[in-house]
Amino acid sequence: MSYNDNNDETSGTGDDESSIFTNERNEETAGIPVDDASGSRLSDDIGVIDEHTLSDDVKFRILSNRCPEPGFKFPFRLYKDKRCKSGTFKRSCCRDWFEQFQFIAYSKSKDGLYCLACKFFPDTSGRRPRLLVTEPFNKWKDATMDLKKHAQTGYHADSVVRLNGFKKSCVNQSLRIDVNLQSNNAAIIAKNRDIIRSMLTCLEFCGRRVMALRGHRDDDAGDSKNKGYFKELIKFRIEAGDTTLEQHFETCSKVATYTSNTSQNELLTCIKTNIQKSIVEEVKSQPFGGYYGIQCDEVSDTSNWKQLGLVLRYVVYGVPVERLLELFLAQETTGESLCTCNLIVQSLASNGVDIQLCRSQTMDGAGNMSGKNAGCAARDTDFSTRNVSLLCYLQSKFCAV
């Protein structure tokens, strides 16, 4: 690079290797871009950013904008030289260096160069220097020679390998490990959903036709041929060409088939929650408000357990409808127990139904349900004072479940 004379005389003597003068800026440095009126530097300035907290997008943006815009004029520095008429010469950063050294980037705030490879992907053995990494390089007089020496170091070569790999992964997203992991996870999730969807179809088939899911032995421990409708439907779907289920049972562990009674009950709970959500949304979507009535009664099942059924009665487009919201175990059937245990109130609250909007309650004539003092109807009135209690014979539909 040729020497540039200027008219500024400097005092003192020196030779070609004299030290750099105190950082001087010419009037051209006033054009350095800033983020805002406060004078803060660019957010992507390599000299002020924290490389440890940078995202991959910001790193790639800095790599793509290593050199300042074409209209930018680099600030110069003054060097002593007796061969110049003025005794000094100017030196500044050269744009040709960015073509010759693909790893450097310029910092406007520091007026210096940084090695992007060593700064973003440093050597872990501690061999990296401070210059070009944590400190800017601005010895313009010896820049070409010093940058060539830096490019030949082993720690720089290792960092360049990692830098090139980073560039490739940014250009081709399929090469990124995190993207591959996300894609693989998405494929696994989609496959598992298809498996669960097939099983839910079998459960829905049995539920709509009131068919028992399980047979005499559901754990596959015995030789019983009666495995229950659910497992037989699973087998039928595989034979009918459900490749998703077929691959699942061919590759899954014996303890991860998701056909056990526990898994069946969990899936049934999911179906129940979805049905309850749709019922509640239908109640709340009424144009005149989410008003409703409740009907409930307890009955013993075949195992002699007391089951309490809770039905919501409301109007849809002027037509009264009744939907079973909950069926739960009633350990005691006194009015005091039914209410204090919050069987009805808790069920309504857990499903997002406001009990204050209840306008009627229909129960049978038994004392524990319709008694005026300790009956369930009387206790419910304490929570919703505007509801009206009706006896079972006034119901349009028999409420025994």
pLDDT of residue 216: 65
Tokens of 185: 């996870």
Tell me the pLDDT of the chain (401 aa) as tens digits.
443 444 333 333 334 433 343 344 343 333 334 444 333 345 678 888 877 777 878 888 888 888 888 888 888 887 776 677 777 778 888 888 888 888 888 888 888 898 888 888 887 766 667 888 888 888 888 888 999 998 888 888 888 888 888 888 777 776 677 777 888 888 999 999 999 999 999 999 999 998 888 876 666 565 667 778 899 999 999 999 999 999 999 999 888 899 988 999 999 999 999 999 999 999 999 888 889 988 887 777 777 787 888 899 999 988 999 999 988 877 665 545 455 356 788 888 899 998 888 888 877 644 445 545 555 555 555 555 555 555 555 444 444 44
Residue 168 CB coordination number (10 Å)? 11
The sign of the dihedral angle between the CA atoms of 156, 158, 162, 168 is positive
* Residue 90 identity (one-letter amino acid): K
pLDDT of residue 367: 43
* Domain map (residue ranges) of the chain: 4-174, 177-259, 288-394
Longest dimension (CA), the chain: 118
pLDDT of residue 4: 41
Nearest to 5 by CA among 85, 93, 74: 85
pLDDT of residue 237: 94
pLDDT of residue 128: 65
pLDDT of residue 249: 92
Residue 77 CB coordination number (10 Å)? 23
pLDDT of residue 36: 40
Torsion of CA 160, 162, 163, 166, to 10 degrees: 160
Torsion of CA 128, 133, 138, 139, to 10 degrees: 0
Which fold does the domain 288-394 belong to in CATH? Nucleotidyltransferase; domain 5 (3.30.420)
pLDDT of residue 275: 94
Find out whether 292 and 359 touch, Cβ atoms under 8 Å: yes
